[in-house]
Structure 1
Amino acid sequence: MYAERPFPGLACAWRRTTTTTAAGLVVPDGCTDIIYSAGTGEVFVAGPDTVGHVTRTGPGTLFGVRFGPGVGPAAFGVPGVELRDQRVPLSQLWGSSARLDDALGEAEDPCDVLASAALARLRETPPDPLVDVIASSPGNVGDLAWSLGLSARQLHRRSLAAFGYGPKVLHRVLRFDRAVGLAWQGVPFADIAHRTGYADQAHLSREVRDLAGVPLGQLIRS
């Protein structure tokens, strides 16, 4: 069972409970998560992915908070590219913290503890102020760089640091994420292709296979 809820200042908070050992496919969405395993006490960071990852979990509950695209790396104090396709113990980024571990173990909802710690870090080190502009401008990279008063190389470096991707890969991942979201809502695939800017349904299908590793129909059934 998976459920998520809005959380001010973050993309969402979520929890996943399984009663048996299970495998699931995690696909790229441009986001970064902090995840706490209630069963093992582990706390780790899931960086921005470039391809789908099969994850296996034992029985128990995972609690997580998700940063929007381009936000998480600022809280962790490392460039996003260093977290790309990685799963890293939080202690490697923030150092060991008995206080955080104790608070998670005692909390009624560990998501509140994770979120409080994440937001405190973001107040200390806010994300790049260009994050929203870069994420919402999927046109020509050269034109975007010019509009921001940057060279294409400078824009690429800032995008790698904030998102873990260069601008072209970022926009590809975000378009894919929008398409998957519409598919979950039951929108016909041809309409999804049109609404998200793919050339046609065949183009959408190729992108989904490249980024998720499975067809779109199989992805939303998994």
Structure 2
Amino acid sequence: MVGVDIGEHCFDVRDSTGRTHSGSAALGLIDYAAPVRVRAVECVQIRLSPVVAPAVLGVPLAELTGNIVGLDDLWGQDAARLRERLHETPRWPDRFALIETALSARFRDDRRADPEIAWAWHQLRAGRGRFRVEHLATGIGWSRQRLWSRFRTQIGLTPKRAAMLVRFDHAVHQLVQGRPPAQVAADSGYADQSHLHRDVREFTGAPPATAAGEPWLAVDDRAWPSAPGTTR
């Protein structure tokens, strides 16, 4: 995920070590609740698929796992120029067009994930996290150990942990739509409602009722519709 601040105020995000980072930043796949503090912030959130994120960010996702890196450190003056242009552009459709142009300009095909890892990730997404690692390895023709190692190196998490995040992402969006927690737990592959409750607590730091009320989740799919390459 990349966050680009536009206005006069920026957001503060605390990483797993307790350090606070202010302003535009990039995060890898994180499996913990990252506290965010904002005050009248205006920003753009960019959700990159982990199989193409390294090709845009310029670093392996393993280097970002559990860390938060300032966008200036990754993109240099390009980050400052992007913020300036976004600030000077009042219409959101035009801002999104600027983002698309900036991402395309930074994309390097030789930095994206290996085809086998991309396939494994898409299988996890398609199965909403309900896919056994052994089956993924068999589908690729790799050993379980090789898949585990290469997946962690390129995606930043183990396949099992990534599957947990994918399952959680699906479940929490179902909660936002108002579906009963017990039904969401059953449909999402959780052992029971308390299992769902624990995962929501772990990944958001809040109980399901509070997490489901987060405004960014309510507009998530509309702001960032599923499309090949750049989203989720």
TM-score, with normalisation over the residues of structure 2? Answer: 0.71
SS in 2 for 1:169: helix
Partner of 1:23: none
Equivalent position to 2:65, from 72, 80, 84: 84
1:134 corresponds to 2:121: yes
**Contact 1:131–1:162 under 8 Å retained in 2:** no
Equivalent position to 2:2, from 19, 33, 56: 33
1:219 corresponds to 2:211: yes
Taking the aligned partners of 1:202 and 1:134, their CA distance within structure 2 comes to 27
Structure 1: runs of 5+ lacking an equivalent:
1-31
After superposition, the Cα gap between the structure-2 partners of 1:214 and 1:101, relative to the gap in structure 1 and judged at 3 Å, is closer
Bigger mean CA deviation after superposition, 161-170 or 126-135:
126-135
1:48 corresponds to 2:33: no
Equivalent position to 2:144, from 131, 139, 152: 152
Aligned residue runs from structure 1 range 1-150, under 5 A: 32-39=1-8, 42-97=23-78, 99-108=81-90, 109=92, 110-122=95-107, 124-125=109-110, 127-128=112-113, 129=115, 130-137=117-124, 138-150=130-142
Between Structure 1 and Structure 2, the one with more strand by share is: 1
After superposition, the Cα gap between the structure-2 partners of 1:151 and 1:193, relative to the gap in structure 1 and judged at 3 Å, is same
Between Structure 1 and Structure 2, the one with more helix by share is: 2
After superposition, the Cα gap between the structure-2 partners of 1:61 and 1:149, relative to the gap in structure 1 and judged at 3 Å, is same
Please give the per-residue CA displacement for 1:42-61, whole angstroms capped at 9, x wherever unaligned: 53213322111221112231
After superposition, the Cα gap between the structure-2 partners of 1:115 and 1:157, relative to the gap in structure 1 and judged at 3 Å, is farther
Give the CA RMSD over aligned residues.
2.4
Cα deviation for residue 133 of structure 1 reads: 3.1
Structure 2: runs of 5+ lacking an equivalent:
11-22, 125-129, 215-232
Cα deviation for residue 140 of structure 1 reads: 2.5
Taking the aligned partners of 1:194 and 1:85, their CA distance within structure 2 comes to 30
**Contact 2:5–2:41 under 8 Å retained in 1:** no
Cα deviation for residue 125 of structure 1 reads: 4.3
Partner of 1:190: 182
The residue type equivalent to 2:120 in the other structure is V
Work out the number of aligned pairs and report it.
191
Taking the aligned partners of 1:176 and 1:144, their CA distance within structure 2 comes to 19
TM-score, with normalisation over the residues of structure 1? Answer: 0.74
